[in-house]
Chains A and B, each alone.
Chain A
Amino acid sequence: MRKLFLSMFAVSALAAGLSAGCTAQAAEVNVYSGREENLIKPVLDRFTAQTGIKVNLITAGADELTTRLELEGANSPADLLLTVDVGRLLRAKEMGLLQAVDSDVLESQIPAQYRDSEGEWFGVSLRSRVVVYDKERVNPAQLSTYEDLADPKWKGKICIRSSSNIYNQSMTAAMISHHGVEETEAWAKGLVANFARQPQGGDRDQIAAVAIGQCELAIVNTYYLAGMINATSAEQREQATKVAVFWPNQQDRGAHINISGAGLSAHAPNRSEAIQLLEFLVSDESQTWYAEANNEFPVRAGVPVSATLQSWGEFKADSLPLEQLGIHNAEAVRVMDRAGWR
């Protein structure tokens, strides 16, 4: 019996020992990142190399991290919250989890449309949600707008992922802010009626489905196609050659845009280091890296984009203030529920 208690004790001591990490004295900054480790660590490592500031990282879904930040409260170690869409940043702001940053660098480098008017969050890279079409079967002259995708002429031809996906929620939220709830619901119903199959898989799966002929159009984020064009798998590269990008709504509001961005935590223990990191994220070096390695569009004007993105040409982006996407997110989910968009 005593042996069992002893081993129990030893185990708890072991567990306690395991937990006694990260108490370094040197300058550091703690990041809660909704972006996966391999898509952010290289930039953070460069930041450490340049400034000597150590970056501690936890990656998880932005919603989970926001919940953790909220529950940890005033004692939370988090300095920066990084997310891959604006809706989550706005939600964090509404929950009072962020604080305003007053930085000339951030304000001069990031266009006003891509940051919070009160300085609580900042976009660091851009992505667009576009139409990808089968080069063989679709005449791009028939394509025009997101709104047009609900037209019965596309019946049984459209592939798109589940409405649980945040990018679809943001796209629908943008629609609500342009056209109102009723018109958006009618649009969503029309779109659902045009689905070639029940929503499933990710964006790459939609592109592959177009390539093999299950559907003619897919609605996807730009970097997924760029990722397939540059994939290690020969099969994905082959599939990518069969499709082309169409930028919707070029005659009116422009293509739907979302950001990946960051905000300073309300109780950040390492405030100045965190602001330094934020500024580093919009530096020439990081912006070029985002563009090259992740095939995202830089948030700053004048930074060159990757060759793949260049090949798709210039496009007009929707100038809707991104706050709108967050404001309408919950309503967008309800609209999609009612439209039967799985």
Chain B
Amino acid sequence: MGKHGSLLAIFVLCVLLSVPVLTIFSSVFDSSDGVWQHLVDTLLWSYIVQSLQLMLGVGVLVLLLGVAPAWLVTMTRFPGSRWLEWALVLPLAMPAYIIAYTYTGMLDVAGPVQGFIRDTFDMRFGDYWFPQIRSTGGAITMLSLVLYPYIYLLSRMAFLEQSVCVLEVSRTLGASPWQAFSRVAVPLARPAIMAGLALVLMETLADYGTVQYFGISSFTAGIFRTWFGMGSATAAAQLSAVLMLFILALVIAEQWSRNRARYHHTSTRYSQLPQLKLTGWKMAGALVYCLVPVLFGFIIPFLQLAWWAWDTRALVDFSAFSQLIINSLRLAFTAALIALILGMFISYAKRLQPGMPMRTATRVLGLGYAVPGTVIAVGVLIPFAWFDNSLDAWMRAQFGISTGLLMSGTLIAVVFAYIVRFLPVAMNTMDAGLGKIKPSMDDAGRSMGLGPFQILRRIHIPMLKGSLLTAALLVFVDVLKELPATLILRPFNFNTLAIRTYELANQERLTEAAASALMIVLAGIIPVIIISLSISASRPGHDKRA
């Protein structure tokens, strides 16, 4: 297979993986019985405003929580900074809907915190002020607390990969440490930060669990309300298509604003990062700043879950529970491996052939992440069921054999949905990594007689080890947390930890749901820590003993 054959194969693969997204788009041509008119008359505007508020709030908050701590733990030393380096990633293991349940359990009007206030000061509800957890602000906080690690990870990766020379040059030109950060390091890390922000915003738009629990009329909540309440799957798919167009516009706008600027390393000389030792109030400030996201995004909800799980331990059936753990891990592992391989080929093909068809195909593919899992699931169900039923009809007509549903209702459909939904996470991470490798490296390789795949294997993969591992583990953790697509596509008698948690929480039994919620978090911690450590080790010239 020549270079063009391989590229064509990858292009076809992209198209295949885009089928669910295209299926949803195709709904635009169906009629939806006046549902749109009703939406325009009543809630459409408020859906849009709510979603924009969420995106804006989450966008600002994750940048605040993610970028500066990444810089601080990379470039400075203060008590606890070694520990914070990986601890800052921990909230990634916490699904948004679970952190929302947990904080609501603690902070809602009937929760222990407000109860304590009422008992201690002998007050009734309304005698005191307390922030409303189930609000837009609450949802922004919850989503930001679990999503900022994307920003943290990608910007830390970028800071680590930056050549120290650039920073030293900026200092010799008279820049203060703050200016080195804000005027050199951050702009250089911009592609990575933007890639992280894109992931965060897409995840925010796709979120249904948290907004539904908080009673927020976001665009996604509107999709489901239209589908379930009015029985209009068509209008719901059309709303999803609008959502995707919006994302597409954002992605294009971001790329356009970067214009033709490219951020490659200008030097391949690396040395151990000179980490500044902080003292006094600077030390205290850095410590507090970095501790806040970990404390609220992980430690507090984790302890609360552990407390609840201990309280309800008598209700846990351990043999059924271990099966749930195995199922969750197996799915996550399979999906991560496939996403890693496909993502690498596609990202690399895009680099080799940055022409229009490949760009369009990968862009459509990338939209999967912004689409709520349930909608993706329907986008998977439709073509799979069509294929199975057509094959069955043909086999019956030709050979009198019924093949039934070959792939629908199997784990293949489930894993396919995961790939459609989470491949963009892997690709974004790899693109950010690949983008920093100068094209002249490829040219050098080629001039030495290497083929494209040899360049990938011998030049890019070794340089990208950190990015590749991160991509795979991000998918792993995302699948572990995934709920809606698994719920609707899975085969008979097959459950995961996320499903168990959701079913109990849905019956408003939060304390009983804690045991399985805790397991999701625990299963996610190990890969999350590996991601973090591997990124530290990914810096060229990293001293293993340091």
Is B341 a contact of A7 with CB atoms below 8 Å?
yes
Is B109 a contact of A209 with CB atoms below 8 Å?
yes
Q: Which of B385, B411, B412, B491 touches A73 (beta carbons < 8 Å)?
A: B385
CB proximity to A under 8 Å, residues B212-251: 212-215, 217, 221, 224-225, 227-233
Q: Which residues of B contact A59 (CB under 8 A)?
A: 487, 499, 503
- What's the tally of chain A residues with a CB closer than 8 Å to chain B? 69
Q: Which of B227, B382, B490 touches A63 (beta carbons < 8 Å)?
A: B227
Q: Which residues of B contact A329 (CB under 8 A)?
A: 229, 231
Q: Which of A22, A205, A227, A330 touches B229 (beta carbons < 8 Å)?
A: A330
Q: Which residues of A contact B214 (CB under 8 A)?
A: 200
Is B231 a contact of A330 with CB atoms below 8 Å?
yes
Q: Which of A56, A68, A208 touches B492 (beta carbons < 8 Å)?
A: A56
Q: How far is the CB of A135 from chain B (nearest CB, A)?
A: 15
Q: Which residues of A contact B338 (CB under 8 A)?
A: 8, 11-12
Chain A 1-39: CB-based contact to B (< 8 A → 1; otherwise 0): 100100110011011101101100000001000001111
**Bound CA span A73–B382, Å:** 11
**Bound CA span A203–B509, Å:** 11
Q: Which of A36, A65, A224, A227 touches B488 (beta carbons < 8 Å)?
A: A65
Is B405 a contact of A164 with CB atoms below 8 Å?
no
Q: How far is the CB of B409 from chain A (nearest CB, A)?
A: 7
Beyond A18-B330, A36-B503, A58-B492, is A212–B231 a contact (Cβ under 8 Å)?
no
Chain A 25-62: CB-based contact to B (< 8 A → 1; otherwise 0): 00000100000111100000000000000001111110
Q: How far is the CB of A71 from chain B (nearest CB, A)?
A: 4
Q: Which of B112, B134, B230, B493 touches A201 (beta carbons < 8 Å)?
A: B134
Q: Which residues of A contact B231 (CB under 8 A)?
A: 91, 329-330
Q: Which residues of B contact A75 (CB under 8 A)?
A: 388-389, 392, 402, 404-405
Is B492 a contact of A30 with CB atoms below 8 Å?
yes
Q: How far is the CB of A44 from chain B (nearest CB, A)?
A: 11
Tell me the nearest residue of chain B to A332, going by C-beta.
B229
Q: Which of A38, A77, A169, A342 touches B503 (beta carbons < 8 Å)?
A: A38
Beyond A15-B334, A72-B405, A162-B215, is A337–B374 a contact (Cβ under 8 Å)?
no
Is B511 a contact of A233 with CB atoms below 8 Å?
yes
Tell me the nearest residue of chain B to A333, going by C-beta.
B229
**Bound CA span A150–B215, Å:** 22
**Bound CA span A15–B336, Å:** 13
Interface on chain A toward B: helix, strand, loop, or mixed SS?
A: helix
CB proximity to A under 8 Å, residues B120-170: 124-126, 134
Q: Which of B109, B381, B493 touches A57 (beta carbons < 8 Å)?
A: B493
Tell me the nearest residue of chain B to A223, going by C-beta.
B507
Q: Which of B213, B228, B385, B402 touches A61 (beta carbons < 8 Å)?
A: B228
Q: Which residues of B contact A213 (CB under 8 A)?
A: 124-126
Q: Which of A61, A68, A205, A214 touches B381 (beta carbons < 8 Å)?
A: A68
Q: Which residues of B contact A164 (CB under 8 A)?
A: 212, 221, 224-225, 228-229
**Bound CA span A224–B492, Å:** 28
Interface size class of B (residues with CB under 8 A): 35 or more
Interface assignment of A151: CB less than 8 Å from any CB of chain B: no
Q: Which residues of A contact B229 (CB under 8 A)?
A: 164, 169, 329-330, 333
Q: How far is the CB of A76 from chain B (nearest CB, A)?
A: 7
Is B42 a contact of A337 with CB atoms below 8 Å?
yes
Chain A 229-248: CB-based contact to B (< 8 A → 1; otherwise 0): 00011010001000000000
Chain A 196-236: CB-based contact to B (< 8 A → 1; otherwise 0): 00111111110011011110000000001001000011010
Is A212 a contact of B488 with CB atoms below 8 Å?
no
Q: Which residues of A contact B213 (CB under 8 A)?
A: 201
Is B507 a contact of A39 with CB atoms below 8 Å?
yes
Interface assignment of B351: CB less than 8 Å from any CB of chain A: no
Beyond A15-B411, A36-B503, is A212–B511 a contact (Cβ under 8 Å)?
no
Q: How far is the CB of B475 from chain A (nearest CB, A)?
A: 13
**Bound CA span A323–B375, Å:** 29
CB proximity to A under 8 Å, residues B382-403: 382, 385, 388-389, 392, 402
Query: Which 8 pairs of residues, A with B, have the shortest CB-CB distance?
Result: A19-B410, A208-B110, A56-B492, A333-B229, A200-B215, A36-B503, A204-B508, A64-B488
Chain A to chain B contacts (Cβ below 8 Å), 26 pairs: A1-B457, A8-B341, A11-B337, A15-B411, A21-B491, A37-B495, A58-B494, A61-B487, A64-B374, A64-B487, A67-B378, A68-B489, A71-B408, A72-B381, A72-B409, A73-B385, A73-B389, A75-B392, A75-B402, A161-B215, A164-B229, A198-B215, A200-B215, A201-B215, A212-B114, A212-B125
| Seed contacts A38-B507, A164-B224; 8 additional CB < 8 Å A-B pairs | A18-B334, A19-B412, A58-B491, A61-B488, A64-B377, A77-B409, A205-B508, A342-B217
